[in-house]
Amino acid sequence: MKKLGFIIAFMVALLIAGRGWLPPEAVAQQPPRPHIVYILADDLGWKDVGFHGSDIKTPNLDRLAQAGVTLEQNYTHPWCTPSRAALMTGRYPFRYGLQTLVIPSAGTYGLSTDEWLLPQALKEVGYETALVGKWHLGHADRKYWPRQRGFDYQYGPILGEIDYFTHSAHGVVDWYRNNELVNEEGYVTTLLGQDAVKLIGEHDTDTPLFLYLAFTAPHAPYQAPEEALEQYANITDPNRRAYAAMISVMDEQIGQVVEALERRGMRDNTLIVFQSDNGGPRSAQVTGEVDTSGGTIPADNGIFRDGKGSLYEGGTRVVALANWPGQLKPGSVADQPMHMVDWYPTFAALAGASSDPAKPLDGLNVWPALANGENIDRDAVGFDVEPLRAAVHSGDWKLVWKTALPSKVELFNIAQDPSEETNLAYQNLRIVAELKQRIEKMAGEAEPSLFLTEALGAAKSLLFTSVALPEDAEAIENQP
């Protein structure tokens, strides 16, 4: 009987470890299953936080960074929808057709229902799962909505960018709680923070919690409450002033969330991760309707080239931190490539959850790197694989390949040239060939781009739709 009990205990320890067989000492070092609070900013510039030297006030994020780990080579995709899909699946978006741009308001597609999402995996092992904030992974059909994809609770916009005061997108209110339209007043960022605090306050602390808090800030339109704008009266550029105020309001709400965890006695067993979904925009073309006549595009990506929508570092390297008291060393730095796809296997390992064995993850469990500074054993990081462009990062090298005519191949040594100023492709043809081969392999595994498929279908419909000529008008009018 004792032997049977030992076998059961050992198997449970292996399940919690979530990494197959481990030696007894490694199993003993596995931390307890944490509450997980994953906080995502929208279009935040890499330098636009205090702990990266910004004049924008982010005291709560600064404290989390100082007491935890800053991730200095944390990568995403260059657009919102692909990055969020990578988080939810642990798999590159090209595998299910979400590699191109974002799902537009007229889009009818969404994240494939064949994918086994992170909240589904966590829910299966006893987690309560909640999304407070932006979804943007499918809105036209409710089968794509968060409550249908593993979240016990949902509050916020289903689509993408939203007016911060009217809660509307393109003139239509996009504000829901558990699939029901909500008409209420308030500033979006504050409402999201308050709802997260309320959820934590009502949570059964004996049940592990996965809270995905996805702010829309500081995505355009650049809007902030008057009291927040007054903090930055010294900034003359109206867009930068509003952008700074938006970030400070978000930071304030993050502070309220941390305090809520402390009040409930959950803080010491909560892993908090914060990051942006892509780099800050550096062009009006990727921000939506922004008036630049009296101001600039306000995001600052520091030394990194370009911004949102670009495959350069400014579009894909994002601000990020992780904090868990007693488990992550205060003031430490993780300075090796990590990617959005890594959070799924990392959270799953800590929770004792599993992924779909039929669809292997692209991400890696990076917990040993965060907790102990161990090197991540990975061949490459893929930023994007699309029909017209792609980028991959392997070791110190990064290849950016634009296949649309006129085509362009760029190779950068990111370790020596993080600003991507010097193209070394012609001096390193062998490396270029190797990285191109990696991209071709991934492209061979890609599903057709749903954005392009739908766009081409719409264009074809327009091209071949019969149009009445003026002389036919009377005949058409007289048809029965």
Q: Specify the CATH number for the domain of residue 90.
A: 3.40.720.10
Q: For tokens 């339109």, what's the residue?
A: 221
- Residue 384: per-residue pLDDT: 87
- Is 162 in contact with 242 (CB distance < 8 Å)? no
At 192, give phi and psi (nearest 5°): -65, -45
Could you say which of 35, 52, 136, 139 is catalytic?
136
* Least confident stretch, 174-178, 389-393, 475-479: 475-479
C-alpha count within 13 angstroms, C-beta hemisphere, residue 394? 16
- Residue 30: per-residue pLDDT: 63
In a domain, 61, yes or no: yes
**80 catalytically annotated:** yes
In a domain, 418, yes or no: no
- Is 64 in contact with 321 (CB distance < 8 Å)? yes
Could you say which of 77, 80, 167, 393 is catalytic?
80
In a domain, 477, yes or no: no
- Tell me the torsion sign for CA atoms 168, 173, 176, 182: positive
- Residue 223: per-residue pLDDT: 97
- Residue 115: per-residue pLDDT: 97
Q: In what order do the strands lie in the sheet with 320-323?
A: 180-181, 176-177, 153-156, 128-133, 209-214, 35-41, 270-276, 320-323, 69-71, 332-334
pTM, two decimal places: 0.90
- Residue 22: per-residue pLDDT: 35
In a domain, 397, yes or no: no
Q: Which residues contact 350 (CB under 8 A, 6 or more apart)?
A: 18, 31, 33, 34, 36, 271, 367
**35 catalytically annotated:** no
Distances (CA, A) of 298 to 121, 246, 314: 38, 12, 14
As a whole-number percent, the residues of the chain with pLDDT over 70 amount to 88
- Is 99 in contact with 386 (CB distance < 8 Å)? yes
As a whole-number percent, the residues of the chain with pLDDT over 90 amount to 81
In a domain, 344, yes or no: yes
- Residue 201: per-residue pLDDT: 98
In a domain, 179, yes or no: yes
pLDDT tens for residues 295-334? 789 999 999 999 999 999 999 999 999 999 999 999 999 9
pLDDT tens for residues 94-128? 999 999 999 999 999 999 999 999 999 999 999 99
- Rounded Cα–Cα distance for residues 446 and 263 (Å): 47
In a domain, 84, yes or no: yes
- Rounded Cα–Cα distance for residues 411 and 431 (Å): 9
pLDDT at 463 exceeding the cut of 90: no
- Is 130 in contact with 152 (CB distance < 8 Å)? yes
pLDDT tens for residues 426-459? 999 999 999 999 999 999 999 999 999 998 877 7
* Least confident stretch, 27-31, 50-54, 159-163, 208-212: 27-31
- Residue 296: per-residue pLDDT: 85
- Residue 479 banded pLDDT, cuts 50, 70, 90: very low
The mean pLDDT of the chain is 90
- Residue 294 banded pLDDT, cuts 50, 70, 90: low
- Residue 170 banded pLDDT, cuts 50, 70, 90: confident
- Residue 74 banded pLDDT, cuts 50, 70, 90: very high
Q: DSSP strand E in 80-232: where? A: 128-133, 153-156, 168-169, 172-173, 176-177, 180-181, 209-214
pLDDT tens for residues 183-206? 999 999 999 999 999 999 999 999
Number of domains in the chain: 1
- Residue 43 banded pLDDT, cuts 50, 70, 90: very high
* Least confident stretch, 157-166, 240-249, 296-305, 378-387: 378-387
pLDDT tens for residues 341-387? 999 999 999 999 998 888 999 999 999 999 999 999 988 888 789 99
In a domain, 235, yes or no: yes
- Residue 163: per-residue pLDDT: 96
Which burial class, exposed, middle or buried, applies to 13 when counting CB atoms under 10 A from its CB (0-12, 13-18, 19+)? middle
**What would the mean pLDDT of 288-298 be, rounded to a whole number?**
74
User: Count of residues for the chain?
Assistant: 480
- Rounded Cα–Cα distance for residues 440 and 286 (Å): 27
Q: Which residue segment(s) compose the domain that 254 sits in?
A: 35-47+57-283+297-372
- Residue 286 banded pLDDT, cuts 50, 70, 90: confident
pLDDT at 27 exceeding the cut of 60: no
- Closest by Cα among 454, 447, 461 to 140: 454
- Rounded Cα–Cα distance for residues 324 and 64 (Å): 9
**What would the mean pLDDT of 33-45 be, rounded to a whole number?**
98
